[in-house]
Amino acid sequence: MQMLYNTVLRCAKGLISAASMVPDSMAGHGKTRKFINGQATALKHAAEFKAGSENYWFHCASLGEYAIARPIMAEIKKRRPQARIALTFFSSTGVETLRQRRNDMADFIGYLPLDTPSNARRLIGLFKPSAALFMVSEYWPNFLFELKRHNIPAFLVSCIFTESAPHFNPIAGSVFRRSLSAYSRIFCLNSNSVDTLRKIGFDRASAEGDPLVDNALGISQTDWTNEHLSKFCSAGRTLVCGSIHNDADLELIAPEINAHPDRRYLLVPHEIDNAHLRRVENALTVPSRRLSDYTPDMTEHVMIVDNIGQLAYLYRLGAMAYIGGGFTRQLHSIVEASVYGLPIAFGPRTERKILARVLTRLGIASTTSTPDEFAAWANHWFSAPEAELDRIRATAKKFCQEQAGATSRIVTTVLESAKRWND
């Protein structure tokens, strides 16, 4: 199975190399093209990382996973100012967005090259990590085997394990089970995951909580303003619809928005290319305005945010929030809205979100599967007394504060392991 895995990746590497030779004028500049170009030059750019005596390699699939890595990176930099951090992504969104932000915690931001044995040897030789940290569900066997070969501590952070994980697959599972042996520790989100890992013989796991909570709390305490959005939202209760993924999200929320042209809605699509923005606009029968087209005299009650990277801050402007992606396995971050005390709603797919189920039990969150269910939820919170909103705010904020602290516990373990390796 390992041989088949490597053969497939080598073929993919060859195809990417060939595709990168096609001029941009013929292939365009979309996400796929950015990914191909990024893969073709991943190792060349990785060579720009200037390794020091203490280096940490973080890998995230995309921006959602970066929200988990971010507080851990900040805490490592706080405790070990001399440490150098290399941050890799598999998606173009993560790389492009953070390069534009000029992220000051990572000393290098780039693409993770395909998981071939040669790429693994080259990348780890360039990064010289004292420890490597992978977010959520990253099981790259060759990178992990190479880390293990050099006795470099590796960690998997903020994960959930069930028996539907690839490690339990009777055909392909052996490769993934072997890759687990490279992890010095797996930080799970719940004790059930720890028990599940024990079933396949892995006993270096612990339930430490979610660094996403620490990240969201830090953002909520960060100064941030947007004059246009603040003015728009201050005119009345605003429902923030964050990370609208696809037609299922739109089919759920659009009837409610179209039925109430007097209410205010802030829509934040997950993708902001023109095709996705037009899809949102076409679902609406009420007037809407893109943020980039804002004017002080605008009369529209629907604002569409057509930039990336502000959602975690935008929730502070709302009275309630709908979280997109809940009709897929990719329900977006719930905690980003919860730290501001907002009542929240989302679609029915919550199997990968422990927090969704906990907040539902507390009365803070609601699952909405149909337009009628969403309309009932929205009608309630648009008309609810302020005292009821205050009660939800207090409950949600108290809960989030009680969940804080995972970052510190994780970093302590990582630094102790890295020290032993450096020594």
For residue 78, give the nearest of 351, 407, 393 by alpha carbon.
Answer: 407
Q: What is the pLDDT of residue 9?
A: 66
Under the banding of pLDDT at 50, 70 and 90, the label for residue 308 is: confident
Distance, in Å, from the CA atom of 158 to the CA atom of 407, rounded to the nearest integer, reads 10
Plot region of 393 (φ>0 → left; ψ -120 to 50 → alpha; else → beta): alpha
pTM as predicted: 0.81
**297/12: higher pLDDT:** 297
Give the pair of three-digit tokens for residue 323: 């979280």
Distance, in Å, from the CA atom of 241 to the CA atom of 259, rounded to the nearest integer, reads 16
Looking at 2.60.40.10, 3.40.50.2000, 3.10.105.10, 3.30.160.40, the CATH number of the domain 218-402 comes to: 3.40.50.2000
Judged against a pLDDT cut of 60, whether residue 28 lies above it is answered with no
Question: If DSSP codes are grouped into helix, strand and coil, which group holds residue 278?
Answer: helix
Q: What is the pLDDT of residue 194?
A: 93
Out of 50-59, 165-174, 224-233, 334-343, least confident range:
165-174
pLDDT in tens, 360-376: 999 999 999 999 999 99
List residues bridging with 289 in a β-sheet.
303
Q: What is the pLDDT of residue 248?
A: 93
**16/29: higher pLDDT:** 16
Q: What is the pLDDT of residue 24?
A: 59
Q: What is the pLDDT of residue 103?
A: 60
pLDDT in tens, 226-266: 999 999 999 999 999 999 987 899 999 999 999 999 999 99
CB 323 within 8 A of CB 339: no
Judged against a pLDDT cut of 80, whether residue 423 lies above it is answered with no
Q: What is the pLDDT of residue 30?
A: 65
Domain ranges of the chain: 2-209+405-422, 218-402
Out of 17-31, 140-154, 180-194, 205-219, least confident range:
17-31
**385/11: higher pLDDT:** 385
Judged against a pLDDT cut of 60, whether residue 176 lies above it is answered with yes
Q: Which CATH architecture has domain 2-209+405-422?
A: 3-Layer(aba) Sandwich (3.40)
Question: If DSSP codes are grouped into helix, strand and coil, which group holds residue 124?
Answer: helix
Judged against a pLDDT cut of 60, whether residue 58 lies above it is answered with yes
Judged against a pLDDT cut of 80, whether residue 10 lies above it is answered with no
Judged against a pLDDT cut of 70, whether residue 6 lies above it is answered with no
Share above pLDDT 70 across residues of the chain, in percent, rounded to a whole number: 93
How confident is the prediction for the chain on average, in pLDDT?
Answer: 90
Judged against a pLDDT cut of 60, whether residue 304 lies above it is answered with yes
Q: What is the pLDDT of residue 33?
A: 74
